[in-house]
Structure 1
Amino acid sequence: MCGIAGIFHCGTIKPVDPQRVQAMCDALAHRGPDGHGVWTAPGVGLGHRRLSIIDLAGSPQPMHSADDRHVISFNGEVYNFKELRRELEAEGAQFNTHGDTEVILAAYQRWGTDCVGRLNGMFVFAIYDKAQRTLFLARDRFGVKPLYTAMLSDGSIAFASELKGLLAHPLLRREVDPQAVEDYMAWGYVPDHRSILKGVGKLPAGHWQLLRHDTPPAAPQQYWDLSFAERRKGKVADLEAELLHHLGQAVSSRMVADVPLGAFLSGGVDSSSVVALMAEQSREPVRTCSIGFDVAAVDETGYAARVAELFGTNHQSRRVSADQFDAIDQLATMFDEPFADASALPTWRVCQLARESVTVALSGDGADEAFAGYRRQVFHHREEQARRLLPAPLRRSVIGPLGRVWPKADWAPRPLRFKSTLQALAASGAEGYARALGTVPPEVRATLYADGFLRELGDYRAEQPFVALMEGAPARSGLDAAQYADCKFWLPGDILTKVDRTSMAVSLEAREPLLDHRLVEFAATLPEGLRVKGVQGKWLLKKAMERYLPQDILYRPKQGFVTPIAQWLRGPLAAQARGVATGSTVAATGWFDKAQLARMAESHIAGRSDHSRLLWQLIMLDKSLGRLGVST
């Protein structure tokens, strides 16, 4: 696992200052503390920070091909590199190292841009062709590894694994994109199709881009997409066996490392499944770690301990205080862009614990997206059934107005909270699911923005790209489309961003076996009834794992990391909650109605309502803007 950075001139060839590339790499030192390198030539510069995982001493970067025609800077892991190496050797390729970096170089020389379709892994890389004078950029299928790009005033494109790498370049313009603010307020993160800064983009997941010195930048090209359009047929027992085969392959391929390796273990279905399969394939006890909280209601370490005992793992567990609010400044620095998923705090803590004993940790991320494990997906599936029964005019004219006047009732038992369900049923399936996934609904955002900011946004609303994504999904049902959108929108923007930044902050490589593309492609073909049965999501996955895991691990309600933000904002962070309306960077932007922000803060602090998610988003936005040093 590493960090990469570089500069490439489009439309002209100018010298590249190696000190600029070095400064960009230095900003990414946490991603690669074990080595660094910079290579420049007329019009191009590549930089690298290395975290040694495979071939510890033999694969320094940037790396040159054997014939010196190509140069690569690579971040990630290619899990099938040994198989590809054997194939390439059979066709005459020769290798001087034992790692995956040289295999990518040889694959590009043999297959050109088609090489990315042969790579099974998580990766971002840049390959410069000295003969053709082109730069090839590529990103893995799901966007596990990030790549930021920016067109600069001198005609060059700068790229880096994190935004802080670009911020080290003196020509980067630091002006906020208003549409990114709208996106962030809707979702709690800036999605992959945008960046918080104007002129900065992200290479989309499953895409490559070929840049030339003599032409303007070409648009990224998609090389992979996930399809839910087909349905697998067969007996449940056969599909279950096929699923276990894919799971076993995914886990075993990610257990290759020349450094200590372990796993995160929360005690939930996904991480427990990964640990079970690791234990089955390992001669030594698997190293596992879990984080618990000093609040019994949100502490899952007991379940993790049971799984650890069941498989005889070398288990580390640590309880931390739920009051981690003193770490939010460090969190803002980690993410660069505003990021309001509060589970980033405990995720960072478990990464810190893991790094004390291992350099690589396998996680359970990805199963919920692939197998329909989120409660919102199960609800959406049932809502779609209701939409088919209720005529659209009835939903718009009766259910819609009822949803608008129904009280929010956060205090009520969950079965009595009808407002969001009524609002979702009144909308189309895509609009309803966007509402379920979002953090601040459009009607609330409209009351927060100042008139001038609303004029600047014009007709744009954050839900529009998401709805378009769902409506254009290769899918046969509403559940298919929801899962597709989760994989393409939520997964890279929230989940994978969270894991990448928090793990890389402590120089830990996190691997996601449940995002093996062969496994996810298989899951996408499962009949809906094998994904959701009644109110149970991930049905076939849980059934397949019954031979490994006890019932109360498999079928207990999904917990996830919980952070007591609502309490913080009524206690130690109350002053910061009030501050978003007065004296903060956010208040100075003029984007928001200060009086409305003040009313919401006071209502929350007094306990009359729960505006914790909104206030947390505003606080994290404020801290991010302060660190970016942006102009507004």
Structure 2
Amino acid sequence: MSAVAAILHTDGEPAAASAISAMTAAMHYRGQDGVHHQVLGPCAIGHCALHVSAEDRDSVQPLSENEASYTISLDGYVANYEELRRDLTQRGVTLRNRSDAELVLQAHILWGRECLEHINGEFAFGIYDHANETLFCACDHTGLRQLHYHWDGRTFVAATDIAGVLAALDERPAPNYGYLAEHIANGWFTYDETPWQGVMRLPRGHCLTFENGKLQRREYWELPLEITTRYRSDGEYIEHYRSLLTECVAEAGRSDRPVACEVSGGLDSSAIFALANQMDRASNWPSPGLAGFTLSAPRGTPADEARYIEALASAIGREIEAVPLFCPDLDWFEAQAQIDQRLPFLPNTVMLRGLAKAASDNGCRISLTGQGGDQWLDGLPHYYRQSLRGGDLSAFGRSFRADRRARGLAWSAAQAVRQSVVAGLPDGVTDGLRALRDGEPEIATGTHWLSGEMQRELRRRSNAFRAQMAALPTDDRPKRGKLVAPFALLVFDMLNVQAARLGVENRHPMLSRKFIEFSARTPEHIRLRGGTTKHIHREAMKGILPDKIIDRESKAHFSQTFLPYLPEMQALVAEQIHENAEFRQLVESDTVCAAFDGAKGAPIDQIPIWSLWGTYASALFLEQARVDY
């Protein structure tokens, strides 16, 4: 993954070459194929290049338009590459090279800020308009390519990594205690903040314009909420889905090096690898090779998926290399947090580091993942209500028959009757009934670990998040929640950053724009049926995946990766409670200490691992921030 850096002084002061150099130096690991800068009066733009395709090598970024009117720095790739090229050339645009950056730049010159309606992919970029001294930034629909920024009223700074932004600031910002509170409580409500006050993250599907001394942020893409794709038969849905997923995998696999696949043995990553294998065997895979890698966990543990991997390798006739879990000492996490200037990554994301290293060692610079499948394929349980509101009695009947076979007549009839009644009620009435039934919602499981002040702050964040959701129709809220889930985005970031540190770019076919839009525009009964999730995916993969995987209901568990760290985590937290007044203002000391004590010897499913790690991570961050001051 490459990196973007930009500085814009709004008072006309010339940008300093030393400042943009400091930003790219903080992200040097992303620049294996070169680091370049341009100083353009009040603006400076930098780029750290990791070339993953022949098209990338066609240009050097930052890339300027012929008349030097616009300059772009892009991290990412265009999924609809061929389509966008045709569209631009048919409109008379002369493309000077094959790079994705040239496509995005020319799209912006042609369509202005509406260019984002024409660009699909995973990307973040900044484009400087020389004549008007304005900067235009954007990130993709899911925010998979991060872009952080800071604005102090005079200077605007943006960079891929938080460390890149901090490198350009004269003073280190104060810690963002509300953000840390979310980590401790395991309650996730904000998606545009970082652990530093004033250092923001551009949200998914947003663009940012800086002109006339004002910063304007807007959402350019919204999740389609209306069900517009309906077919008469399951077969038509399945055919559409299989074709779509194959297309998404092919678009993500464009490279001039072999492409890696992370293969867990689950339904999602296995399908991506199997489809890529089919294309490779048929000589229409858009890269010169394919390699599969899987985690090798101890046999018989909850993390062991060897039997599924063996079944897949046998079925498709391709070897899948086993890679040991990466389980470093806690010192490794502390060093990582110090370098990245953020909270240490979760152990069950760091354990995947070996997959990226194996991919890199085998000459791959792209790794395809199955992330997103659990979000967009699992299905939501209001399929009866949705079918009735959409007038689809055939779908209602198919769901009822499947439920009756799986769960019996009594359960199915009760579910169908309840949802039929609710289908005729206005959303306001159903909201009221739900509030009476459920009472005051719990903010988060670890809320009581926080100080009184931080509990109030978490409640404020929770209320703001719920208010956004309440503005949507009842049936659309879970769908929107999948898109804006802050914790999922945090996990994607952790995985992407550590892969980038090894020279590998993660790509996510099941988080592509067209894949998400298909899920949003199709009814829930094609995903959740008879108590089985991912119904359409399982049906579409018959004959492609082995039955052992298609029929799989279980998932591997890696929570035990936390256990070896607990004693050292507790020691650091106890030290910070004693020595760091800022940390004591954040937590209820006695409650936190009791929680760590209670974790000793407890079964893993009874240990609040996320809050324990969030508490340790916050304590470490505040300790490192204090030292930096």
Which TM-score bucket, shorter chain as reference?
A: 0.7 to 0.9
For 1:545 and 1:599, locate their aligned partners in 2 and report how far apart those are by CA, in whole Å. 48
Instruction: Give the residue type in structure 2 aligned to 1:164.
Output: A
Mapping of residues 463-474 of structure 1, within 5 Å: 463-473=462-472
Residues 64 and 70 in structure 1, CA contact (< 8 A), matched pair in contact too? yes
Instruction: Give the residue type in structure 1 aligned to 2:520.
Output: A
For 1:537 and 1:138, locate their aligned partners in 2 and report how far apart those are by CA, in whole Å. 34
Instruction: Give the residue type in structure 2 aligned to 1:52.
Output: H
* 2:391 equivalent in structure 1: none
Q: 3-state DSSP class of the match of 2:19?
A: helix
Query: Alpha-carbon deviations, 1:535-573, whole Å to 9, x = none?
Result: 322211111112211222123234245131553255565
Residues 189 and 340 in structure 1, CA contact (< 8 A), matched pair in contact too? no
Which of 478, 485, 493 is the aligned partner of 2:481? 485
Residues 580 and 618 in structure 1, CA contact (< 8 A), matched pair in contact too? no
Matched, 1:232 2:229: yes
Which of 305, 320, 324 is the aligned partner of 1:319? 324
* 2:83 equivalent in structure 1: 83
Matched, 1:345 2:350: yes
Residues 78 and 119 in structure 2, CA contact (< 8 A), matched pair in contact too? yes
Query: Alpha-carbon deviations, 1:459-480, whole Å to 9, x = none?
Result: 844422432343234x562xx4
Q: CA 1:629 to 1:310, structure 2 compared with 1: closer, same or farther past 3 Å?
A: farther
Residues 272 and 370 in structure 2, CA contact (< 8 A), matched pair in contact too? yes
* 1:280 equivalent in structure 2: 278
* 1:553 equivalent in structure 2: 549
Q: CA 1:360 to 1:628, structure 2 compared with 1: closer, same or farther past 3 Å?
A: farther
* 2:438 equivalent in structure 1: 426
Could you tell me how far 1:28 is from its partner in structure 2?
A: 0.7
Residues 288 and 308 in structure 1, CA contact (< 8 A), matched pair in contact too? no
* 1:25 equivalent in structure 2: 24
For 1:394 and 1:485, locate their aligned partners in 2 and report how far apart those are by CA, in whole Å. 21
For 1:426 and 1:336, locate their aligned partners in 2 and report how far apart those are by CA, in whole Å. 40
Q: CA 1:572 to 1:178, structure 2 compared with 1: closer, same or farther past 3 Å?
A: closer
Q: 3-state DSSP class of the match of 2:265?
A: coil
For 2:431 and 2:88, locate their aligned partners in 1 and report how far apart those are by CA, in whole Å. 57
* 1:449 equivalent in structure 2: 450
Could you tell me how far 1:251 is from its partner in structure 2?
A: 0.9
Matched, 1:527 2:526: no
Query: Alpha-carbon deviations, 1:255-299, whole Å to 9, x = none?
Result: 211223121111110001101110111137621111122363112
Matched, 1:368 2:374: yes
For 1:8 and 1:93, locate their aligned partners in 2 and report how far apart those are by CA, in whole Å. 29
Instruction: Give the residue type in structure 2 aligned to 1:591.
Output: L
* 2:426 equivalent in structure 1: none
* 464-473 vs 132-141, greater mean Cα deviation: 464-473
Percent of residue pairs bearing the same amino acid type: 21
Q: CA 1:499 to 1:340, structure 2 compared with 1: closer, same or farther past 3 Å?
A: closer
Which of 310, 314, 329 is the aligned partner of 1:309? 314
- Alignment length (residue pairs): 582
* 1:614 equivalent in structure 2: 611
Could you tell me how far 1:86 is from its partner in structure 2?
A: 2.9
Which of 245, 248, 263 is the aligned partner of 1:247? 245
For 1:376 and 1:589, locate their aligned partners in 2 and report how far apart those are by CA, in whole Å. 44
Give the TM-score normalised by the residue count of structure 1: 0.84
* 2:59 equivalent in structure 1: 59
Residues 185 and 611 in structure 2, CA contact (< 8 A), matched pair in contact too? no
* 180-189 vs 241-250, greater mean Cα deviation: 180-189
Could you tell me how far 1:625 is from its partner in structure 2?
A: 2.9
Residues 148 and 201 in structure 2, CA contact (< 8 A), matched pair in contact too? yes
Could you tell me how far 1:193 is from its partner in structure 2?
A: 2.5
Instruction: Give the residue type in structure 1 aligned to 2:493.
Output: T
Q: 3-state DSSP class of the match of 1:299?
A: coil
Q: CA 1:351 to 1:330, structure 2 compared with 1: closer, same or farther past 3 Å?
A: farther
Could you tell me how far 1:125 is from its partner in structure 2?
A: 0.5
Could you tell me how far 1:309 is from its partner in structure 2?
A: 3.0
Q: 3-state DSSP class of the match of 1:210?
A: strand
For 1:532 and 1:174, locate their aligned partners in 2 and report how far apart those are by CA, in whole Å. 46
For 1:170 and 1:78, locate their aligned partners in 2 and report how far apart those are by CA, in whole Å. 32
For 1:188 and 1:502, locate their aligned partners in 2 and report how far apart those are by CA, in whole Å. 24
For 1:451 and 1:605, locate their aligned partners in 2 and report how far apart those are by CA, in whole Å. 27
Residues 183 and 189 in structure 1, CA contact (< 8 A), matched pair in contact too? yes
* 2:597 equivalent in structure 1: 602
Q: CA 1:269 to 1:606, structure 2 compared with 1: closer, same or farther past 3 Å?
A: closer
Could you tell me how far 1:23 is from its partner in structure 2?
A: 0.6
Q: CA 1:23 to 1:146, structure 2 compared with 1: closer, same or farther past 3 Å?
A: same
* 234-243 vs 292-301, greater mean Cα deviation: 292-301
Q: CA 1:294 to 1:336, structure 2 compared with 1: closer, same or farther past 3 Å?
A: farther
Q: RMSD across aligned C-alpha pairs, in angstroms?
A: 3.3
For 2:552 and 2:334, locate their aligned partners in 1 and report how far apart those are by CA, in whole Å. 34
Which ranges in structure 2 are unaligned for 5 or more consecutive residues? 385-398, 400-410, 423-429
* 329-338 vs 124-133, greater mean Cα deviation: 329-338
Q: CA 1:451 to 1:361, structure 2 compared with 1: closer, same or farther past 3 Å?
A: closer
* 82-91 vs 116-125, greater mean Cα deviation: 82-91
For 1:131 and 1:507, locate their aligned partners in 2 and report how far apart those are by CA, in whole Å. 36
* 1:293 equivalent in structure 2: 297
Q: 3-state DSSP class of the match of 1:623?
A: helix
Instruction: Give the residue type in structure 1 aligned to 2:592.
Output: L
Which of 330, 333, 339 is the aligned partner of 1:328? 333
Which ranges in structure 1 are unaligned for 5 or more consecutive residues? 398-424
Q: 3-state DSSP class of the match of 2:351?
A: helix
Q: CA 1:278 to 1:476, structure 2 compared with 1: closer, same or farther past 3 Å?
A: farther
* 91-100 vs 141-150, greater mean Cα deviation: 91-100
For 1:199 and 1:573, locate their aligned partners in 2 and report how far apart those are by CA, in whole Å. 28
Q: 3-state DSSP class of the match of 2:352?
A: helix
Q: CA 1:570 to 1:75, structure 2 compared with 1: closer, same or farther past 3 Å?
A: closer
* 2:73 equivalent in structure 1: 73
Residues 450 and 586 in structure 2, CA contact (< 8 A), matched pair in contact too? yes
For 1:197 and 1:104, locate their aligned partners in 2 and report how far apart those are by CA, in whole Å. 31
Matched, 1:184 2:169: no
* 2:402 equivalent in structure 1: none
* 1:258 equivalent in structure 2: 256
Q: CA 1:181 to 1:495, structure 2 compared with 1: closer, same or farther past 3 Å?
A: closer
